[in-house]
Amino acid sequence: MKVQVSKKALAERFAHVERIVPARSSNPGLNLVRIDLGDDQLRFVGSNLDLDVRTALPADVSGEGAVAVPAHVFGQVVRALPGEDVALEVEDRELAITSGSFGTRLQLADLDSAPNPAFADAHAAELPGSALAAALGQVRYAAAVAEYQAIFRGVKLELSDEGTRAVATDGFRLAYFDLDAVSGLDAEIVVPARSVDEIVRLLEDEPVKLQVGEGSLSLASGAFEVNAKLMEGSFPDYRRVIPANFPVVVTLPAQALAESVTRVAVMADKTANNRVDLFIRDGTMQITAEGSYGRSQEAMEVSQEGSDAEIALAYNARYLTDALGPLTGDLRLSLSGPTSPSLLTEPSDPHYLAMVVPLRTG
Amino acid sequence: MKVQVSKKALAERFAHVERIVPARSSNPGLNLVRIDLGDDQLRFVGSNLDLDVRTALPADVSGEGAVAVPAHVFGQVVRALPGEDVALEVEDRELAITSGSFGTRLQLADLDSAPNPAFADAHAAELPGSALAAALGQVRYAAAVAEYQAIFRGVKLELSDEGTRAVATDGFRLAYFDLDAVSGLDAEIVVPARSVDEIVRLLEDEPVKLQVGEGSLSLASGAFEVNAKLMEGSFPDYRRVIPANFPVVVTLPAQALAESVTRVAVMADKTANNRVDLFIRDGTMQITAEGSYGRSQEAMEVSQEGSDAEIALAYNARYLTDALGPLTGDLRLSLSGPTSPSLLTEPSDPHYLAMVVPLRTG
């Protein structure tokens, strides 16, 4: 078995598989990448148990077969290759990698211990890759980092005839993003947020095909195929907690608010929910924070609809800036009261909604 | 006391002091920065015990005095300021920082616990700042990271009528750099390598004044003054171990060798000195490495002077690439034998010399 391939294409393509492969694992084969040769292509398969990735690269192949090598060692060798072209050849239980005057003989690992997951043969549905990446990427922050219920560490995908929604929540905040596109699938699934991060990196500006199988989501886009293990358990009924009535709605530039909150929150007490206070009165929002080093404040003009009563609310500063992250225009901040959730939306771009529960004050 | 100053100048200047101040310290005052106001300038003083830094910034000051605030909190506030100008005002045990519609009131810390080191009144000597930075920066890698003798974790400065040399060694390798300039001082001092890193960052392309005091080196350059605590103990007599006779000298492009060694060393056994082997024969250098994953090799053309015998040498790959780091042209690799030190120099730039002790083979 012998392959000729461009170094640049090999390095770029392999990097996507290498990134998901754990450097160390208690599972001895999980650090390996499987390399399939044949059909005028080179295919790499890697896995971290939650996510399997396979990618194919057109190549001038003679012979066919499969080998396994340590993924990160192979990746280091490939990145450092001196020439423009690389020859890979399997001989004597070794993979010979030759480029210019440089050569490596990498010992083959046991092929049976390398990951060899099955990938979907067919995909029932399709979405625009960049739109799915935006949806997942913009709500992912709201998933929990560590929470007693594992399901909070996932991103839910709601796929139906009605539409496609990505949603994440950690119980104190929530974000969803509605795609304009309909996939053709009818399913509600939860993907671990870490797998979501990798999927967002892999998705390109071309269609992504989808298939939901037994406990897994299969994606195919461009040269990549992915299996993502789904989370079990019941995702919270978030619609129930999104308020419908907002006595007060204020409008102000989203990024200016994010910068102001970041600035003021330097003084916030990190051990007391990183609290910032918002006081709204007479068309001015005062943003304040106080902690053991002192206190900060900043004033912004806002436009206020509904009641013109004075309003005082407190938030975790980080939750506010995370929620504001995807917004670039005017924020519509809909307030349902000092202890019930606030909504953050952008009227000029209705795909995204964030909800943040205020901190209890006093 | 009140000051008006540009945010950009304040942030840039303060960053150099903030960087040396420890974020946490068992010494409760060491996280503070002292701010002196008066004489139409704002002065910041910070310390990490090994290094004291003072910097002055011209400013529109009314009143005079000194206060202390937590350095990293002050730095975070300053970096995030929204406007182009900042007002600092001391009132009621607080430092009020105002910029545009933003304001912070930072509680003052106890001035007596903040660092207040003495800085040299006069400096006896002077060197070009960029040349001193180059000398220190190019040899610093050869200092030990952790070694039973603390002195190996320092960089020695030899200052005399003869010249100015920076030298570092960890016992297995050595680097020195000779400045063209003579300082006017006559001293041999050893500065901790960590302090050297900060000094290199502070030095700019203007003259640096030097003074050696009791256990410390004082530097003044541009807007900065620095005291660096010196290391005690006897620096090894490195001249004694630099060989004078080289049966073989080979010449080859330095950066091509560095890249080749990096490439080949992917296969080297990191637990066995990261060993690479060099075989020189008939105008060709073979660079090889072998470890538990396999083996790599690369061939380079070299020109060989002296004996035309075959030569086999082994090195720690990292020591070779570190030593080659400052070299950009043709390397002259002077070999005194398989177990005695090799010298790396660049005939076109004679300021720098590196010495690497080969690994014992067989």
SS (H, E, C) B90-105: EECCEEEEEECCEEEE
Residues of chain A with C-beta less than 8 angstroms from the C-beta of B292: 107
Instruction: Write the residue in B106, B260, B266 that is nearest to A77 by C-beta.
Output: B266
Interface of B with A (CB under 8 A): 70, 73, 76-77, 80-82, 94, 101-107, 259-260, 262-264, 266-267, 292-300
Residues of chain A with C-beta less than 8 angstroms from the C-beta of B270: none
Residues of chain A with C-beta less than 8 angstroms from the C-beta of B81: 263
Residues of chain B with C-beta less than 8 angstroms from the C-beta of A262: 80
Residues of chain B with C-beta less than 8 angstroms from the C-beta of A105: 294-296
For an interface test with A, the pick among B24, B259, B266 (most A C-beta atoms closer than 10 Å) comes out as: B266
Say if the Cβ atoms of B104 and A295 lie within 8 Å. Answer: yes
Cα(B54)–Cα(A31) distance, integer angstroms = 50
Say if the Cβ atoms of A107 and B77 lie within 8 Å. Answer: no
Residues of chain A with C-beta less than 8 angstroms from the C-beta of B297: 102-104
Distance from CA of B277 to the nearest CA of A (A): 14
Amino acid A28: pLDDT: 84
CA nearest A292 in B: which residue?
B107
Say if the Cβ atoms of A80 and B263 lie within 8 Å. Answer: yes
Handedness of CA A247, A251, A252, A254 (dihedral sign): positive
Instruction: Write the residue in B77, B105, B262 that is nearest to A80 by C-beta.
Output: B262
Report the percent of chain A where pLDDT is more than 70: 99
Phi, psi (degrees; rounded to nearest 5) at A212: -100, 120
B93-108 per-position pLDDT tens digit: 999 999 999 999 999 9
Instruction: Write the residue in B73, B106, B293 that is nearest to A106 by C-beta.
Output: B293
Mention every residue, 6+ apart, whose C-beta is less than 8 A from residue B240: none
Interface of A with B (CB under 8 A): 70, 73, 76-77, 80-82, 94, 101-107, 259-260, 262-264, 266-267, 292-300
Say if the Cβ atoms of B104 and A267 lie within 8 Å. Answer: yes
Mention every residue, 6+ apart, whose C-beta is less than 8 A from residue A244: none
Strand partners, A253: A330
Mention every residue, 6+ apart, whose C-beta is less than 8 A from residue A240: none
- pLDDT at A361 > cutoff 80: no
Which one-letter DSSP state was computed for residue A278?
A: E
Say if the Cβ atoms of A294 and B267 lie within 8 Å. Answer: no
Average pLDDT on B268-291 reads 95
Residues of chain B with C-beta less than 8 angstroms from the C-beta of A81: 263
Give A276's pLDDT tier (boundaries 50, 70, 90).
Answer: very high
Give the Cα-Cα-Cα angle A245, A251, A253 (nearest 5 degrees): 140
Helix B317-324, helix B254-264: angle, nearest 10: 150
Averaged confidence pLDDT in chain B: 95
Residues of chain B with C-beta less than 8 angstroms from the C-beta of A293: 70, 73, 106-107
Residue pair A242/A341 in contact by the 8 Å Cβ criterion: yes
- Give the burial string for B91-112 (b: 16+ CB within 10 Å, else e): eeebbbbbbebbbbbbbbbebe
Chain position carrying tokens 């060692």: A73
For an interface test with B, the pick among A32, A33, A263, A274 (most B C-beta atoms closer than 10 Å) comes out as: A263
Instruction: Write the residue in A94, A107, A263 that is nearest to B80 by C-beta.
Output: A263
Cα(A82)–Cα(B270) distance, integer angstroms = 22
B159-187 per-position pLDDT tens digit: 999 999 999 999 999 999 999 999 999 99
Strand partners, B217: B212, B228
A114-127 per-position pLDDT tens digit: 999 999 999 999 99
Instruction: Write the residue in B82, B295, B299 that is nearest to A101 by C-beta.
Output: B299
Residue pair A348/A329 in contact by the 8 Å Cβ criterion: yes
Both structure tokens of A130? 């960049």
Instruction: Write the residue in B82, B260, B293 that is nearest to A107 by C-beta.
Output: B293
Which one-letter DSSP state was computed for residue B329?
A: S
CA A142 to centroid of chain Cα atoms: 11
Give B325's pLDDT tier (boundaries 50, 70, 90).
Answer: very high
Instruction: Write the residue in A73, A101, A294 that is nearest to B105 by C-beta.
Output: A294
- pLDDT at A36 > cutoff 70: yes
Residues of chain A with C-beta less than 8 angstroms from the C-beta of B82: 259-260, 263, 298
Amino acid A272: pLDDT: 85
**C-alpha distance from residue A351 to each of A84, A177, A189, A203, A242 (Å):** 44, 5, 20, 19, 16
Give A309's pLDDT tier (boundaries 50, 70, 90).
Answer: confident
CA nearest A263 in B: which residue?
B80
Amino acid A149: pLDDT: 86
Mention every residue, 6+ apart, whose C-beta is less than 8 A from residue A322: A141, A142, A173
Average pLDDT on B333-352 reads 95
Strand partners, A179: A164
Give A362's pLDDT tier (boundaries 50, 70, 90).
Answer: low
- Reading phi first (left if > 0) and then psi (alpha if -120 to 50, else beta), residue A195 is in alpha
AA letter at B292: S
Say if the Cβ atoms of A94 and B294 lie within 8 Å. Answer: yes
Which one-letter DSSP state was computed for residue A83?
A: S
Distance from CA of A104 to the nearest CA of B (A): 4
- pLDDT at A103 > cutoff 70: yes
A159-179 per-position pLDDT tens digit: 999 999 999 999 999 999 999
H helix intervals, chain A: 7-20, 71-80, 129-139, 193-202, 254-264, 317-324
Averaged confidence pLDDT in chain A: 95
Cα(A201)–Cα(B60) distance, integer angstroms = 50
- pLDDT at A192 > cutoff 70: yes
Give A248's pLDDT tier (boundaries 50, 70, 90).
Answer: very high
Type and span of the H or E element at A330: strand A330-335
Instruction: Write the residue in B81, B293, B296 that is nearest to A70 by C-beta.
Output: B293
What ipTM, to 2 d.p.? Answer: 0.89
Residues of chain A with C-beta less than 8 angstroms from the C-beta of B295: 104-105
Amino acid A295: pLDDT: 98
B2-35 per-position pLDDT tens digit: 999 999 999 999 999 999 999 988 888 999 999 9
**C-alpha distance from residue A226 to each of A13, A204, A208, B216 (Å):** 14, 13, 10, 60
Amino acid B24: pLDDT: 86
Give A146's pLDDT tier (boundaries 50, 70, 90).
Answer: confident
Which one-letter DSSP state was computed for residue B109?
A: B
User: Which residue, among A67, A1, A78, A8, has the nearest Cα to A33 in the 3D structure?
Assistant: A67
Compare A45 and A306 and report the one with higher pLDDT: A45
Distance from CA of B65 to the nearest CA of A (A): 21
Say if the Cβ atoms of B293 and A73 lie within 8 Å. Answer: yes
Distance from CA of A205 to the nearest CA of B (A): 34
AA letter at A260: S
Distance from CA of A295 to the nearest CA of B (A): 5
Number of H helices, E strands in chain B: 6, 26
Cα(A255)–Cα(A324) distance, integer angstroms = 7
AA letter at A261: V
Amino acid A225: pLDDT: 96
CA nearest B99 in A: which residue?
A298
Residue pair A94/A85 in contact by the 8 Å Cβ criterion: no
- pLDDT at B146 > cutoff 90: no
For an interface test with B, the pick among A89, A262, A267, A293 (most B C-beta atoms closer than 10 Å) comes out as: A293
Distance from CA of B216 to the nearest CA of A (A): 34
Report the percent of chain B where pLDDT is more than 90: 89
A–B interface: beta-carbon pairs under 8 A: 92
Compare A149 and A7 and report the one with higher pLDDT: A7
- pLDDT at A147 > cutoff 80: no
Compare B176 and B270 and report the one with higher pLDDT: B176
Task: Output B259-263 pairs: Cβ under 8 A, ≥24 positions apart.
Answer: B259/A80, B259/A82, B260/A82, B260/A102, B260/B287, B260/B298, B260/B300, B261/B287, B261/B317, B261/B320, B261/B321, B261/B324, B262/A80, B262/B317, B262/B321, B263/A77, B263/A80, B263/A81, B263/A82, B263/A102, B263/B296, B263/B298
Cα(B345)–Cα(B340) distance, integer angstroms = 16
Distance from CA of A337 to the nearest CA of B (A): 26
- pLDDT at B361 > cutoff 80: no
Distance from CA of A94 to the nearest CA of B (A): 8
Average pLDDT on A118-147 reads 94
Instruction: Write the residue in B80, B296, B300 that is nearest to A104 by C-beta.
Output: B296
Give B362's pLDDT tier (boundaries 50, 70, 90).
Answer: low
pTM, 2 dp = 0.91
Phi, psi (degrees; rounded to nearest 5) at B233: 115, 175
Cα(B132)–Cα(B31) distance, integer angstroms = 29
